[in-house]
């Protein structure tokens, strides 16, 4: 007669082997995510320090850049907020206008054929060339900077949302047709949800790009007294490199935070999408 091996009861608080293996896999995954970045940052830091020691007129020491940030943080916070205000307002106008036009173009093909060439022309036009004219037309306030930022962020959203609205599965579209769904119902229940991955992908591009647009607007739109772009321009003119790179560091942090915000939003809204399932598996 076969005898069964007695099962040793697991002490209270001891994790099961499967849970322990899952924890080790998660730890290994986290390690594989942040360790390469940390190594790259350390290498760049050593290279920066070596270059700054040999050529101080090219790069300031990292200690001086960090000292400037610690010495007067409110200066950088106030200028960062001025740049961020321009970026967020510009991306709201640019992306919002592009989204509305994409909805109209998906329903009216004639409108798409009329607007898309004009959008391409606007996209290939150097915004620096028209910025002085915007200053003449709208003055030295915030308006020309917002328009420049909106122009820079307009085209990626228009293209992505238009592609997403037209990438509807034909079998699903036939199902809606057999159910006698109206065009508004198809738009709200099928086309817009189908375009959501494309829209969020565009936002991942244009939100950090709006920071670049705001800085470019501060460069070319004269008369601004605040903003990180203005600080970089004025500091470069007086050869204060530590202020230039401190402002660049603030811009980099702003761009990373905006990208992280869109990434979190994408994971929350697209939990059903296969791209997020592959990422979290």
Structural domain includes residue 92: yes
Name, in order, each residue with C-beta under 8 angstroms of 12's C-beta and a sequence gap of 6 or more: none
The number of domains in the chain is 1
Q: What long-range pairs does 263-266 form, CB within 8 A, spacing at least 24?
A: 263/204, 265/200, 266/200, 266/204
pLDDT at 154: 92
- C-alpha atoms less than 13 angstroms from C-alpha of 201 in its C-beta half-sphere: 15
For residues 154 and 121, the answer to whether their CB atoms sit within 8 Å is no
pLDDT for residue 94: 93
* Residues of the domain holding 202: 58-268
Asked whether residue 244 is assigned to any structural domain, the reply reads yes
**Residue showing tokens 């509305």:** 100
* Residue 91 near residue 149 (C-beta atoms within 8 A): yes
Per-residue pLDDT of the chain (281 residues; tens, 9 = 90+): 455 555 555 555 555 555 655 565 555 556 666 777 778 888 888 888 888 788 777 788 888 888 888 888 899 999 999 999 999 999 999 999 999 999 998 888 888 888 888 888 888 888 878 877 887 778 777 888 898 899 999 999 999 999 888 888 777 777 787 877 788 888 888 888 888 888 888 999 899 889 988 888 888 776 667 888 889 888 888 888 889 999 999 999 999 899 888 888 888 887 666 656 555 44
For residue 236, the domain's CATH number is: 1.10.3720.10
Contact 80, 250 (CB under 8 A): yes
**Looking at the domain assignment, is residue 28 inside a domain?**
no
Nearest to 204 by CA among 249, 148, 139, 267: 267
> Is 93 part of any domain?
yes
């Amino acid at each position: 007669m076969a005898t069964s091996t007695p099962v040793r009861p697991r002490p209270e608080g001891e994790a099961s082997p499967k849970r322990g293996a899952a924890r080790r896999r998660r730890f290994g995954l986290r390690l594989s995510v942040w360790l390469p970045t940390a190594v790259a940052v350390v290498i760049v830091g050593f290279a920066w320090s070596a270059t700054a020691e040999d050529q101080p007129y090219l790069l300031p020491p990292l200690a001086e850049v960090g000292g400037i940030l610690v010495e007067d943080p409110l200066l950088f916070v106030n200028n960062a907020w001025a740049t961020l205000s321009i970026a967020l307002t510009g991306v709201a106008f640019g992306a919002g206008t592009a989204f509305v036009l994409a909805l109209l173009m998906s329903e009216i093909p004639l409108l798409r054929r009329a607007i898309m060439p004009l959008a391409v022309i606007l996209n290939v036009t150097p915004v620096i060339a028209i910025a002085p004219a915007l200053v003449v037309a709208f003055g030295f306030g915030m308006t020309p900077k917002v328009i420049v930022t909106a122009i820079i962020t307009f085209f990626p959203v228009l293209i992505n949302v238009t592609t997403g609205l037209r990438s509807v599965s034909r079998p699903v579209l036939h199902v809606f047709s057999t159910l006698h769904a109206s065009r508004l119902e198809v738009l709200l229940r099928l086309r817009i949800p189908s375009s959501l991955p494309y829209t969020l992908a565009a936002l991942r591009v244009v939100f950090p790009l709006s920071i670049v647009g705001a800085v470019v607007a501060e460069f070319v739109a004269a008369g601004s007294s605040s903003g990180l772009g203005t600080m970089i321009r004025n500091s470069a003119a007086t050869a204060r490199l530590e202020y230039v790179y401190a402002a660049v560091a603030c811009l980099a942090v702003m761009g990373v935070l905006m990208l992280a915000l869109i990434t979190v939003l994408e994971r929350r809204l697209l939990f059903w999408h296969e791209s997020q399932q592959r990422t979290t598996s």
